[in-house]
Amino acid sequence: MSLAPYKVLLFDCYGDWETGMLENLQPLLSQPSAPNREKLFEVLGPIENRIQAETPKMLYSELLAKVYAETAEKLSLKSDDAQAKAFGNSIPSWPAFPDSAEALKKLSDAGMKLVILSNVDNKSFDGSKQKLEKGFTFDAIYTAEKIGSYKPSLRNFDYAIENIKKDFNLEKEDILIVANSKFHDIQPGHKKDLKSAWIDRERAFMGVSAYKDIIPDYQFGSMMEFADAIVKDKS
């Protein structure tokens, strides 16, 4: 199935969020009774999803502070407000995947509209943006703060579809979701009849491991592999 018809790429697979989280959860992970990586995310993921659904207008940085505190409590680990706040404020330091900036530049050079649909707040995304925009600029950035809800809410996808139509005069059929999380992106995107390309990030757990039955329309092992496929199909 050719990628040539798509004109807009709706992205949320550029940042290594799990690594960023782990690096900033060290006050919890350094404790003797701390769980392994998989167990940690088994606990943290559902807490984050619940708080996002319950408080859709809360800034992501503030929401993460609550996630930190509740995760610590659930795992019977020691925490304090300063640690929780620091975790919430750490988002701009979370790393991009090594291939992200180069692949995004290649896709931009190929004439694709690059649109971010992310669960972060505006200020937090500025940190990611500085790591990613190398020789190109995103055509649009739709954050949870701007929309007033968090994925997998279908409101976020409706917002993206409506604004892509308004900003670029392009239709739903022109949009391809490019993401790692099947829970946050692939599944709700399919509910809105959007096609999807899954970037299979090695070891990614949250939004992936429990959703093996969700089948994307395309699958790639890296962003650069995806970018090369777009360029090939467009040529």
10 Cβ contact partners less than 8 Å away, ≥ 6 residues apart: 115, 117, 160, 164, 175, 176, 177, 178, 179, 189, 194
C-alpha angle 99-17-62 in degrees, rounded to nearest 5? 140
Per annotation, catalytic residue among 12, 16, 121, 185: 12
Tell me which residue has tokens 């059929």: 173
**Do 79 and 72 meet the contact criterion of CB atoms below 8 Å apart?**
yes
Helix (H) or strand (E) holding 71: helix 60-74
137 Cβ contact partners less than 8 Å away, ≥ 6 residues apart: none
Catalytic status, residue 80 = no
The residues carrying an active-site annotation are 12
